[in-house]
Chain A
Amino acid sequence: MKQYIMKRILLTIPLLICISFVCFVFINLIPSDPAEVALRVRQVPVITDEAIAEVREELGLDKPYLVRYAGWVADCLRGDFGISYTNPSRTVAGELARCLPATLQLAGTSLILVILLSLPIGFLCAVYRNSWFDKIIRMLVFMTTAMPAYWIGLLLMWLVAIKLDLLPTSGSGTFSHLILPAVTVSFTYISTYIRLIRNNMLENMKQDYVLYANVRGIPQKKILIGHILRNSLHTCFVAIGMSIPQLIAGTIVVENVFAWPGLGTLCITSIFNRDYPVIQTYVLLIGVLFVVFNLIFDILQTVADPRLRKEAS
């Protein structure tokens, strides 16, 4: 088992290298000169070629590509993500650390909402399949999967905050500020997971082990919860785990709609300001989150499944 976990961890290293490289290359493909941007951001009145050359040297932009990549990776590993172009008094790490808690709060609340709603609803849809309840939910799921998050956000804002005046439209600080963004973020995930759990349970209901449990006269409740739901959750487990980085990344749009002061807002502001180090680090962070959560849930899945556990040890 230990060996298996070590192997899995080692296998993520090439993946991380790929991610960081792609991240680095893409940011450098952006068709404006970072040196010029840095100068403009620092509000230098006249941008001369000499000034650009100077800043180039200062930012290390005159060195070859791979050298710069290696340098950047080495810095990242030391936890040094550079200095914000826009605001040279702040480090990128500091900026991210400042915005991370708000995003985690939003993503965490959304995750709880997703689990609390999609699990029981998906379960009930499967148990009472083709009932009016199931039909209505299926229709809603069908409708909401096609709706983009920003549109749902604006719709909710208009309805709940403006028309009904129940909650604040934007900002942060109190629980009431959190509700609308969290509902918006979780909306599409809720419908995805209702469908996932419902279909997974229906798939499990057709299995021989359910027939055999019925043959032995096991009570329905026990079969549904102890066997069918358990097996379905087992299959959905990795998908639900992988939705955590998705939720964190997915807040980017919603945060901007609701002016939520998290990573998403930081990222969009940085994009407008051409603040490359921040964008680069944000993209890298999200990529690493995906890899890490994938790793964690893969290992947990292996530990939890008696069939995989044996193969792994």
Chain B
Amino acid sequence: MSNVILNVKNLQVSVQERGKSYTLVYDSDFCVNEGECLGILGESGSGKSMTVKSIMGLLDTNFKVTGEAWFHGKDLLKESKESLRNIRGSKIAMVLQNPMTSFDPLCRISSQIAETFQAHTDWDAEKIREKSIELLEQMQIREPLEVLQKYPHQLSGGMIQRIMVGIALSMEPDLLVADEPTTALDAITQHEVLKAFREIKREKKTSMIFITHDLGAISYVADRILVMNQGRIVDEGSFHDILRHAKDPYTRMLAEKKCAVMEQYRRVLGKGRGML
């Protein structure tokens, strides 16, 4: 087996609300291997985002996180805020679900890219500009100079999502976390973004955690899949395992439903599309 890049043990997340404590993620163990894309599948509210946010130190102080999360010889759950900030955006990058609301509406794209570079490098203005253009070009965005001058609301969801992926990759992270990157997009754009992720996997060999509730999307990019239900990891295996020989009744239900939908899809389209 190849090197393990992220190793999570006994991760438990609970939230304190009005004197009561609710557990959102129970005793999770998983790891991500180098160059591998780990898919996390589960319906909304099952704790997928909580799992990755807790590892990256993105939760507020009213959340309690216990366990271990080893990354490059450091336990992320024990690291200081400043050390985690340094890791976020450079060593571990993340792409979020709602591209349209993830950028500050009052700031131009250029300044939001630039502040990311400033947070992790000591590049001067000229270098930041070069790198920003390079970032957009790599994501196949036409007329990057103009796009840089735009405000978020002036761009389409798909384009902003690609910029987000570009920002995530620009610091050459060791781990890329994508939290439902396709959920807010229309079908055609979804396909484009998925293709971009597959290319990243093939060309850059970046290790990835890909979160989704869409079996179709996960089958397209993930090497190995975790299934989450109500805060617990209930199943683990390849796409084929999950689809055909799921141990957990919840996973079986998910797979069966998906199969039924896919059958219908195939009939409608006449033939199976690549991504299904």
Minimum CB–CB distance from A216 to chain B (whole Å) comes to 4
Given contacts A217-B90, A307-B153, A310-B154, A212 and B119 within 8 Å (CB-CB): no
> Within residues 162 to 221 of chain A, which ones have a CB less than 8 A from any CB in chain B?
207-209, 211-220
> Within residues 78 to 95 of chain B, which ones have a CB less than 8 A from any CB in chain A?
81, 85-90, 93-94
Contacts of A305 in B (CB 8 A): 106
Given contacts A230-B106, A307-B151, A215 and B101 within 8 Å (CB-CB): no
Is B98 interfacial (CB 8 A cutoff)?
A: yes
* A207 & B101 in contact (Cβ 8 Å cutoff): yes
* A212 & B96 in contact (Cβ 8 Å cutoff): yes
Minimum CB–CB distance from B28 to chain A (whole Å) comes to 21
Smallest Cβ-Cβ distance to A310: which chain B residue? B154
* A209 & B119 in contact (Cβ 8 Å cutoff): no
B interface residue numbers (CB < 8 A to A): 56, 58, 81, 85-90, 93-94, 96, 98, 101-107, 115-116, 119-120, 151, 153-154, 164, 167
Contact with B along A138-164 (1 / 0, CB 8 A): 000000000000000000000000000
Smallest Cβ-Cβ distance to A228: which chain B residue? B104
A interface residue numbers (CB < 8 A to B): 207-209, 211-220, 222, 226-227, 230-231, 234, 305-307, 310
Contacts of A220 in B (CB 8 A): 81, 85
* B119 & A219 in contact (Cβ 8 Å cutoff): yes
* B89 & A306 in contact (Cβ 8 Å cutoff): no
* B120 & A217 in contact (Cβ 8 Å cutoff): yes
24 sampled A-B residue pairs with Cβ under 8 A? A208-B96, A209-B101, A209-B102, A209-B105, A212-B102, A214-B58, A215-B93, A215-B96, A216-B167, A217-B85, A217-B87, A217-B89, A217-B90, A218-B115, A218-B116, A220-B81, A230-B106, A231-B106, A306-B106, A306-B151, A306-B153, A307-B105, A307-B153, A310-B153
Complex-state Cα separation, A219 to B88, whole angstroms? 11
Smallest Cβ-Cβ distance to A230: which chain B residue? B106
* B167 & A231 in contact (Cβ 8 Å cutoff): no
* A212 & B85 in contact (Cβ 8 Å cutoff): no
